[in-house]
Structure 1
């Protein structure tokens, strides 16, 4: 059993942060599916990690009862907030000290660990995020444009994304890779699978995969199945019933 609780981001952070979360893990192996985001998380063993953007699902196992809190940056925002080399962090989990230095790692670990409950730990972590954002450089407008267009319509062709950004497709790919960790086509595939998961997990959602596939923006159910196996490593039905 995993006791995972998401919380809406505070209003002043909502432009950069999707949500905060707390969790207590049960035993066994857990699967995380790419979502285009970067997380900063504190573990009760004193570690503070930056989880880079993923291109495929990854599995992990931690001792039963492990507690963690985390902040999830919106796609493209960690590059600015953390000064993160996003392509270098792609498909990797790195210590915060490798991104912001050992002093920052130590302060975050000590201050988050010094409070007694998960919600308080999350508030402390939010405080550090505010500090990082205050010192951050201006966000890349291209990343904001692409994320905004795909958030509105996942069917937007890459050529149209490039036109809206005022770039060639090659230039767009390079700028998106610097911001998201990969190009716009990969981001679109990941966001589309996440849309399928949101639709399928809503209370009262239909069990018809063909319907859900079309509602999520896939051409048909086989299209969903191919993308799901490529990104999540399992079939859509296995993904929905797994942990």
Structure 2
């Protein structure tokens, strides 16, 4: 992410507009089927304590290492780790969305994706993560002698860039598909209401100046180019 405040804010505002809560691959809401989060008792600047229910220890280490460079924290706001994005993703895997029950999953399936036809693999979200993480860790082990989470930060970023560019051959699924799917979930977790596990302390909303679930904006409708002076409010009434 850029260290220049306005470009970073502009990027995140665009993300908020483009990916309100929808799954990048399936078009079905990823957050609408999750259960409300537990009360937040974490320290300032840290996500609350959480034990994953879907991801294994090795997969959990991968997720935490991978989401950090995608939306890192800086002097302007909290990043994916601080706002609990890994928790959001883990909890989504235990919903109908994670099992692919909200997707059309009848064949034919194709590994060579035709953009006009959308997602064409037989893998549901849980499989995408389980098989994708294993494949990336295997590639990292062969190429760098360590699994992804054990690599230094610079190498991790380079691996993510190679995944994004489709420059790594994965047996389980196309590298671009895995990267784009994970990136989409990271964006969702960063901007979803805190009740779904991510965006803890409404860090994502604060970054872009989004007021959240406040009920009344009538006094501000005609005040153009004026900064909204109140912090965000979550669906459950938490104030930021």
**Both proteins in one fold, TM over 0.5:** no
**TM-score, normalization by structure 1:** 0.25
Higher strand share: 1
The structure showing larger relative contact order (alpha-carbon pairs under 8 Å, at least 6 residues apart) is 2
Higher helix share: 1
